[in-house]
Amino acid sequence: MKIVAIANQKGGVAKTTTSINLAACLAARGCRTLLIDLDPQGNATSGLGFPPIEGQSVYGALLGQEPLSDKVIPTRWERLFLIPGDLDLAGAEIEIARLEDHLTRLRSALEIFRQDQPFDFVLLDCPPSLGILMTNALAAADELLIPLQCEYFALEGLSKIHHVVDQIRESGANPHLTIGGILMTMFMRNNLAQQVINEVQTHFGNIIYRTVIPRTVRLSEAPSHGLPIIDYEPNGLGSTAYRALTEEFLKRNPLTKN
Ligand SMILES: Nc1ncnc2c1ncn2[C@@H]1O[C@H](COP(=O)(O)OP(=O)(O)OP(=O)(O)O)[C@@H](O)[C@H]1O
Ligand SMILES: [Mg+2]
List the domain boundaries for the chain: 2-252
pTM higher than 0.95 for the full model? yes
Q: Which of 6, 16, 36, 183 for mutating ligand 1's site (highest number of atoms within 8 Å of CB)?
A: 16
- The contacts of residue 117 (CB under 8 Å, 6+ apart) are 1, 258
Residues with CB under 6 A from ligand 1: 11-17, 39, 43, 128, 185-186, 213, 215-216, 219-220
Mean pLDDT (the chain, rounded): 94
Find the DSSP H helices in the chain: 15-28, 43-47, 59-62, 92-95, 105-116, 132-140, 154-171, 191-204, 217-221, 229-232, 237-252
pLDDT of 66 higher than 90:
yes
What is the reported pLDDT for 258? 47
Measured from the Cα of 221, ligand 1's closest atom is 31
What CATH superfamily classification does 2-252 receive? P-loop containing nucleotide triphosphate hydrolases (3.40.50.300)
Spacing, Cα 43 to ligand 1 middle (Å)? 10
Each residue's pLDDT tens digit, 154-191: 888 888 899 999 999 999 999 999 999 999 999 998 88
